[in-house]
Amino acid sequence: MQLLQNILQNVNVLSTHGPLDVAVQGITFDSRQVREGVLFVAVRGVQADGHTFIPKAEEARAVAIVCEELPQELNPSITYVQVKNSSEALGYLAAAFYGNPSAKLKLIGVTGTNGKTTSVTLLHKLFRELGYHVGLISTVQNQIDEEVIPSTHTTPDAVKLNELLAQMVKAGCTHVFMEVSSHAMVQHRVVGITFAGGVFTNITHDHLDYHGTFDEYIKAKKSFFDMLPKNAFALINADDKRGPVMVQNTKASTHFYALRKAVEFKGRIIDNTIQGLHLEVDGQEIWAKLIGTFNAYNLLAAYGVAVLLGEEPTEALTVLSSLNSAAGRFDYIVSESQITGIVDYAHTPDALENVLNTIQQIRNPNQKVITLVGCGGNRDVAKRPLMADIACRLSDKVILTSDNPRFEEPQAILEDMQKGVKPLDYKKTLSVLDRKEAIKTACMLAEPNDIILIAGKGHETYQEIKGVKYDFDDKQVLRELMQQLGK
């Protein structure tokens, strides 16, 4: 419980109507969650405008309503607060309501198109091994030490985020590693949050359905570094062309990591095999369990964060070298006949290219690469032909199939992908709409020692079709089919 006047402190208030010393029992921006004593914040969304639900919140006896536009008639038993920007206000209100938990933690945010989940998961595991109580906020799952809390978004909304951080403070966490999505930045989900550090992994074309242009997407990512305080650090991948842009206006101290440039946290790949990465980091050699060049970047980022947080470099490197990847991130099984089945979350052109380049680097010339890939419905359509083209370019056989079609027709998504297949590649490409059938086809085509890559869904344990999530786990289906087919 908090007094309204106390949680309004950082909010840009235009006018108030009614008493401010009322007790607020909870905060929500969803009228369906309003109960007596709860504060309702009317947020303008993509699908709807929260202002249209103010009457519902009034009916449900909200104690106060925060909005950009006041209703025509005000209910005398409710306090109305008119603000300049409701979603921004929501961030400050939620942070204050939960006692500004982020300021009581060393909270590190990781942003970028790829590598967020892997980096925060590595950091969570590393700091657990170093003996700390640690929180994790990620696409796959949230965690307080080993306790798993299901995740619905890459970055939760402001209310859930602050509630989760408060829970982490209460559980004694000293460090929290979280993903910061570009959607979260635009929707002000992290307004009012105090970060001790921020990491930039990379940026490539993605989410243009939401941001409109690549420039807007870059701006969204950059705004995270603009909000970092002076005593925070910004750790940037210097090998990414947009790295320096990210920190042009930051107040935080700037640090760089790279494989290709001589910077503060410098790495070099000595060897890159299916057994792992042999790296040199700051002059020290390690053999890491993670596979692929992109994981060398994730390891470097995690190492940089650990050092910037005051950890002993050699100890941090030693622990990092022993860690496995996050679920569905270059996750692999090897069958009886030595077929390697890799399940990876690569669902962007860049990520797919990275994974396939990695496989090309570590395979023997006699191992065929069979790639199975689809694209999600109701998301960026521009990437569909690109992903099919990349798969063809870097594989011996390609099976185009369904990902999460959501509300689109799976066949139409497949046809968009087929447009990216060049005539020379027609012979190596098959289209199998049903994902299980497609995996079965890949298994049947595979000969001993071949490599099957199942891209796009990684850790997901469902396939989303017309609003229903059906059980589907790529790794489990692959394992079962390999056994059934005696592969």
Ligand X SMILES: Nc1ncnc2c1ncn2[C@@H]1O[C@H](COP(=O)(O)OP(=O)(O)OP(=O)(O)O)[C@@H](O)[C@H]1O
Give the amino acid at 12. N
Q: Which two tokens stand for residue 81?
A: 């607060």
Cβ closest to ligand X, residue 97 vs residue 195: 195
How many C-beta atoms lie closer than 10 Å to residue 225's C-beta? 25
Count of positions (residues) in the chain:
487
For the bound state, the minimum distance from the C-beta of residue 159 to ligand X, rounded and expressed in Å, comes to 21
Establish whether 379 is an annotated binding residue: yes
State yes or no: 31 annotated in a binding site. yes
Select the residue interacting with ligand UAG from 19, 35, 45, 59 (CB under 6 A).
45
The verdict on whether residue 404 carries a ligand-binding annotation is: yes
112 is in an annotated binding site: yes
The Cα 197–Cα 247 span in angstroms is 12
53 lies in the site for ligand UAG, by CB under 6 A: yes
Selected from 155, 325, 354, 401, the binder of ligand UAG by CB under 6 A is: 155
Residues 6+ apart with CB under 8 A from 423: none
Which residues, in sequence order, are bridge partners of residue 268? 280
Say if CB 432 and CB 441 are below 8 A apart. yes
- Does position 345 interact with ligand UAG (CB under 6 A)? The reply is no
**Which CB, 27 or 123, lies closer to ligand X?**
123
Question: Binding to ligand UAG by residue 216, rule CB under 6 A?
Answer: no
Q: Which neighbouring-strand residues pair with 149? A: 142
Site for ligand X in 133-192 (CB under 6 A): 139, 154, 179
- Pattern of binders to ligand UAG over 170-189, x per CB under 6 A? -----------x-xx--x--
Using rule CB under 6 A, residue 32 touches ligand UAG? yes
Q: Which does 32 bind (CB under 5 to 8 A by kind): ligand X, ligand UAG, none?
A: ligand UAG
Out of ligand UAG, ligand X, none, what residue 45 binds, judged by CB under 5 to 8 A for its kind, is ligand UAG
| 19-24 contact pairs (CB < 8 A, 24+) | 19/79, 20/79, 22/63, 22/64, 22/79, 23/63, 24/63, 24/64, 24/97
**43 belongs to the binding site for ligand UAG (CB under 6 A):** yes
Q: Pick out residues in 330-359 that bind ligand X (CB under 6 A).
A: 344-346, 351, 354-355
Sheet holding 451-455, edge to edge: 331-334, 340-344, 451-455, 369-373, 397-400, 429-431
Which neighbouring-strand residues pair with 273?
276
Whether 135 and 117 have beta carbons less than 8 Å apart is answered as: no
Q: Is the dihedral of CA 47, 49, 55, 58 positive or negative?
A: positive
Q: Which residue is nearest to ligand UAG (CB)?
A: 45
With binding defined as CB under 6 A, does residue 47 bind ligand UAG?
yes
Q: How many angstroms separate the Cα of 304 from the Cα of each of 198, 200, 266? A: 11, 12, 9
Q: SS3 of 241, please?
A: coil
Q: Confirm or deny that 155 is annotated as ligand binding.
A: yes
Q: Which does 229 bind (CB under 5 to 8 A by kind): ligand UAG, ligand X, none?
A: none
Using an 8 Å Cβ cutoff, are 397 and 421 in contact? no
- 112 makes contact with ligand UAG (CB under 6 A): no
Residue 346 near which of ligand UAG, ligand X, none (CB within 5-8 Å, type-dependent): ligand X
The owner of tokens 């994730």 is 298
- Residue 100 as a binder of ligand X (CB under 6 A): the answer is no
Query: Which residues contact ligand UAG (rule: CB under 6 A)?
Result: 29-32, 43, 45-48, 50, 53, 153-155, 157, 181, 183-184, 187
Binding residue numbers for ATP: 112-118
Query: Which residues contact ligand X (rule: CB under 6 A)?
Result: 112, 114-118, 139, 154, 179, 201-202, 294, 297-298, 329, 344-346, 351, 354-355, 458
Binding residue numbers for meso-2,6-diaminopimelate: 379, 403-406, 456, 460
